[in-house]
Structure 1
């Protein structure tokens, strides 16, 4: 279990995650359910027919190992398949079922999303199973789902229904759920502007083999007030990025220059939703804060700061509409509205792999542009103040969204060259 959840009651864990799922538009008022099985074998589960948008910890129901129900509501109507999964897979301690729109799209055309669309998703999601349609809430549905979990899957597409995922704890299950829905959205949006391209297993293995924590540890670490203030800024932007759908639990790096070329950066393998000040890693004199493992992209952030003195903050993330361009190779023309071009100029696309091959980094770190897209991986946004950099990210994502959605209406008509020159003279000279 995640250390941050160890002393959090199952009721509170469930309420927090259902809030995230609902607020991100990945379930409806009445749809979806979450459960946790505790060390005594009791199952804590969301109630039946209670508004997911205002669920309280006190609404969560406990179904005791002997079948006794404790709580003021009935357990979810889908409780039978939660119970069946736990009986079949003792390694699974939490289950999420929901109807997120992109995954439902796959379920109604009876397909499984290919998680090789982005670097880390295959590792997080694992192979994806498929459960044939059965009556919701029935023991029969529980049987077919349990049969899929019996094969070793932790993520299942439910035919004409939605998805169900398991994890070693609720954080693990939610990361898998969020990553799978992100893959589905990226494939759908990419299909509207081009043909999605997938990574090979060898590409993904190379990504996963990246060295972590290779920087030596610094001997003495101090935390003056200006350093702590930057930690707070980073945590706030990471949280905001997650809330806005611009970052997911399992991927996203934010850094800020501190003094000279020393900087602060988010760690690896820490859930982005739950990032705290003490998780942030200080990089001082090319060395990492003792006992912490910074992002695998730390070397690249370090080189950007070393070579680009005007850059004081960096956001590296996956947002669905920008990644639609990243997985298709389609050109993202930000000459959509004046603000987009003024903020972003042109957005470069670079080949997958340059972000972790240290001998092939010139496209990103030399004369670093405001925004770059790494194929099948991420978008990198740079700027001065961190809030400004976040604004650039939002503008880039909104521009990408407008182009993806507008594609069904007709061909994009960008701002022309004369209009761009007028903008350049007024705002950039």
Structure 2
């Protein structure tokens, strides 16, 4: 199935199949767990089936519950369809629903608490306030009533006690973004607790982040698309989709850029879900001007400053990945002296205060270099730089694997790093001055 189609133009059965496949491949649901629905303009509900393998779901498996209650399809609809119907009846603005049992949110569900989405910069805006529904029998009208009651209070995401989560949105793209961001927030908190104590942003800091949108670069009069640039556009999208599939980027956050020549670079746009990005979405920046009719990432000025300061840097990835964010939200030391590869590629990764990514601040361009390609920003992101885009992505993967190893190591005891003498050996053998 082509995962870069415009989701909103797809039939509901194709949308549901595609998003369920994403959720399953990301390990956010099981073969039998979870359900997705869409209500169309006729009032018909399209929903995933009961007792059909989520790992091999096909559009023909999707069931339609007509407005009059008639069921059309070769399977039974999900047993949870009563609460989908109840939400649609009480909230006509909700057009799509995802229910699943993603591990981190289930952890909060069984601890009977709600994740604080102020853990990362955009989550409060994407997820909104989170509701809580007390336990009822799965598939029962009582469960539907309790969940619907939470949605009547204005919540678009609800933790289900000892069960999982249910989220709704204006369409399935909006719903999936909310679902993915909420689970990511939960994972960040849990992993952060393994290495330190998570710190949360206050509302003023989040509002400052949302309000710091820089003035748009002026538009260029004419855009020239060389063959080399077209190839780079496709490469950016390929890496974005790989990052999403591997959990190194989520729908609501992530920017990639790559240099075309001394005066030109390409960058991902703002307000385009990362999973669905296509080459035509990518924005050209040339001599301080943007491609006409397109809105580049809000971090464009940062990318521009890095390229101007560092002619040896030709690509940049700014993203949120769960294990690196554990160090971002706690400020715990991210010591990459774990294995030789980690130190050789990354050396020292510094953590900077939240706010340095705002327009007009210069700390990040000053901190990154060929020998120190990555930097963490508290409660916001990791910035990774490199000579070529694939190399930059490799650095990101190595950084995330190193962070994951450190999180896992925390249950065994304190990390024993590579010694200073061993580092000097690595420096002499692998580092070119």
State if a TM-score over 0.5 links the two structures: yes
Which one of the candidate residues 241, 245, 255 is aligned to 1:243? 245
Separation in structure 1 between the aligned mates of residue 290 and residue 265 of structure 2, nearest angstrom: 10
What is the match of residue 210 of structure 2? 208
Aligned to 1:258, the other structure's residue is in SS state strand
**1:325 to 2:333 alignment:** no
User: Is residue 108 of structure 2 the alignment partner of residue 106 of structure 1?
Assistant: yes
Q: How many Å apart are 1:7 and its aligned residue? A: 2.5
SS of residue paired to 1:389 = helix
**Residue number in structure 1 paired with 2:391:** 388
The answer as to whether partners of 1:261 and 1:305 remain within 8 angstroms in 2 is no
Cα pair distance change 1:213/1:281, threshold 3 Å: farther
* Correspondence 1:181-200 to 2 at 5 A: 181-200=183-202
Deviation at 1:4, TM superposition (A): 2.4
Q: 1:162 aligns with which of 161, 164, 167?
A: 164
Report the counterpart of residue 178 of structure 1 in structure 2: 180
Deviation of 1:365 (Å)? 4.1
Give the CA deviation at 1:362. Answer: 2.8
- Distance of aligned partners of 1:3 and 1:385 in 2 relative to their CA distance in 1, 3 Å threshold: closer
Q: CA deviation at 1:173?
A: 0.2
- Paired residue secondary structure (2:341): helix
Aligned equivalent of 2:354: 352
Mapping for residues 265-414 of structure 1, pairs under 5 Å: 265-358=267-360, 360-365=361-366, 368=369, 369-414=372-417
Match of 2:421 among 415, 418, 421: 418
Cα distance in 1 between the residues matched to 2:7 and 2:410: 43
- Residue equivalent to 1:116: 118
- Provide the C-alpha distance between the structure 2 equivalents of 1:9 and 1:367, rounded to a whole number of angstroms: 45
CA contact (8 A) 2:191 2:323 kept: yes
Match for residue 32 of structure 1 among 34, 52, 70:
34
After superposition, where does 1:135-150 map in structure 2 within 5 Å?
A: 135-150=137-152
Task: Report the CA distance between 1:262 and its aligned residue.
Answer: 1.3
| Residue number in structure 2 paired with 1:79 | 81
CA contact (8 A) 1:106 1:113 kept: yes
Deviation readout 1:238-292 (Å, 9 max, x if unpaired) = 0000000000001000000111031000000000000000000000110010111
Q: Which runs of 5+ in 1 are unaligned?
A: none
Contact kept, 8 Å, 2:302 with 2:359, in 1: the verdict is: no
8 A contact 1:213–1:296 mirrored in 2: no
Q: CA deviation at 1:361?
A: 1.3
Post-superposition Cα deviations, 1:138-164, rounded to whole Å, max 9, x if no partner, equal 000000000000000000000000000
Work out the CA distance in 2 between the residues paired with 1:280 and 1:334.
Answer: 33
Residue pair 1:308, 1:366 contacting (<8 A) in 2 also: no
Q: What RMSD in Å do the two structures reach over aligned CA positions?
A: 1.2
Instruction: Please give the secondary structure, in 1, of the residue aligned with 2:22.
Output: helix
Q: Distance in 2 between matches of 1:329 and 1:113?
A: 19
Deviation of 1:228 (Å): 0.5
Indicate the residue corresponding to 1:12 in structure 2: 14
The structure 2 residue matched to 1:49, chosen from 45, 48, 51, is: 51
- The 5 A counterparts of 1:118-133 are 118-133=120-135
Distance, in Å, in 2 between the alignment partners of 1:11 and 1:171 is 14
Q: Counterpart in 1 of 2:228? A: 226
Query: How much has 1:214 moved relative to structure 2?
Result: 1.4
TM-score after normalising by structure 1: 0.98
* Runs of 5+ unmatched residues, structure 2: none
Aligned length: 427
- Secondary structure of the 2:261 match is coil
Give the direction of change, closer, same or farther, for the CA distance of 1:213–1:78 in structure 2 (3 Å limit). Answer: farther
Please give the alpha-carbon distance, in whole angstroms, between the structure 2 residues aligned to 1:61 and 1:213. Answer: 47
